[in-house]
Chains A and B, each alone.
Chain A
């Protein structure tokens, strides 16, 4: 299982990279962490003419705050989201999300941008970014544009990125009074989820839900907002008693495909169960916070 021949480029700077992409992006694949691309190359399921290795671009490897936005450079290795103090302080949701990704070796090499650009429908980061209402900064030699996470994931392994473009930065609004939950089901720990639910809610400071972003993953060709569930929560208290109804709303109208591991109906059932348990985590967090306030 050896890759097919390719030409190799290793731009030394961002302008170099963008210039390269404008010239040959349509024949090239970007090599970031390689955790998704290398298996494809080794299996010869992908044989691009050019590989552009962007691992020399340290200018894309950063975590910083920009006013009330957490900015993560696309080349940030995934493991850093677990231990970085700024992430833990401003968007702590990313910690449990990242812990669900694969195994340590994968998180050491895989990049945040790489996972998002690859857009595996069962991956955690794409769903989490949709739940966070993140925005992506996309660069090309022609300039810059921003796309919301919701608009970025188009279908299976397909994202809103032209061949000459690079996903450069992930921008996550830092909001107060947020609670969150993520649960997934996999046969073995570290596997891609057979179904999962990621959710971020904003409260009034106590229990009332002012805004909910509920995203299912592993159930469709891309992360799926459970719109009915999101509206259902509007104006409700985030308490465990509504978990079952909430979960039902999450899968309302959902039709899933089966595969060699699960039938479509069972996947839908799992999605509901995961949504329920993620919501229970949310409710527990709300309860703990409120106890803290009262104390």
Chain B
């Protein structure tokens, strides 16, 4: 096994299989933004605090600034681009637009992805504590969180967890 500076990555990004050659030190966030057109993945801190870069990796929310692109090998990655192809994604966007749960929009994609995961796997009701725990990994500077909570609570009531929620290519 030889060490390398470049690596071929095979992954499924938003339902589509991709194969790309990457610099091994390139972060997953930059890989998604620059090589896969997912500019909805935002960089707010690049050290794992703000959550703006949150994506799903094999169904779990992770901070893409703390992953190497090479670590996407064999994984399914979902960004807001993929979330918005689903019914649940559309519900999330409705909730945010109707409740004015956003202002500048920079933190919004990461939050939407986290909420997508939360409501996707909910088999029953999502409690307030769980909601806050999910949101606690995201920093918003504009809204003071009040209307983000309002949007999330609307989803709590109405989210269709399974119907039409899987991301297909």
Q: Which residues of A pack against B, CB within 8 Å?
A: 1-12, 16, 20, 31, 34-35, 38-39, 41-43, 50-51, 53, 55-56, 77, 79, 102-106, 108-109, 189-190
Whether A55 contacts B71 in the complex (CB less than 8 A), given A38-B65, A39-B48, A104-B114, comes out as: yes
Q: Which residues of B pack against A, CB within 8 Å?
A: 1, 3-5, 7, 24-25, 27, 30, 46-48, 51, 54, 57, 60-63, 65-68, 70-71, 73, 114, 133-134, 136-137
Whether A109 contacts B67 in the complex (CB less than 8 A), given A5-B5, A11-B1, comes out as: yes
Q: In whole angstroms, what is the CA distance A50 to B2 when docked?
A: 11
Q: What are 23 residue pairs bridging A and B, where the CB atoms are less than 8 Å apart in the complex? A: A8-B5, A8-B25, A8-B68, A9-B3, A10-B7, A20-B1, A31-B68, A34-B67, A35-B48, A35-B63, A39-B48, A39-B66, A42-B46, A55-B71, A102-B137, A103-B137, A104-B134, A105-B48, A105-B54, A105-B114, A106-B63, A106-B137, A190-B137
Q: In whole angstroms, what is the CA distance A106 to B70 when docked?
A: 19
* Chain A residue at minimal CB-CB distance from B22: A8
Number of A-B contacts (CB under 8 A): 105
Question: Across the interface, do A104 and B70 meet the contact criterion of CB distance under 8 Å?
Answer: no
Residues on A with C-beta less than 8 A from B67 are 34, 38, 109
Q: In whole angstroms, what is the CA distance A20 to B1 when docked?
A: 9
Whether A7 contacts B68 in the complex (CB less than 8 A), given A38-B48, A51-B24, A105-B114, comes out as: no
Q: How far is the CB of A129 from chain B (nearest CB, A)?
A: 23
Question: Across the interface, do A8 and B7 meet the contact criterion of CB distance under 8 Å?
Answer: yes
Question: Across the interface, do B71 and A7 meet the contact criterion of CB distance under 8 Å?
Answer: no
Q: How far is the CB of A214 from chain B (nearest CB, A)?
A: 28
Question: Across the interface, do B5 and A7 meet the contact criterion of CB distance under 8 Å?
Answer: yes
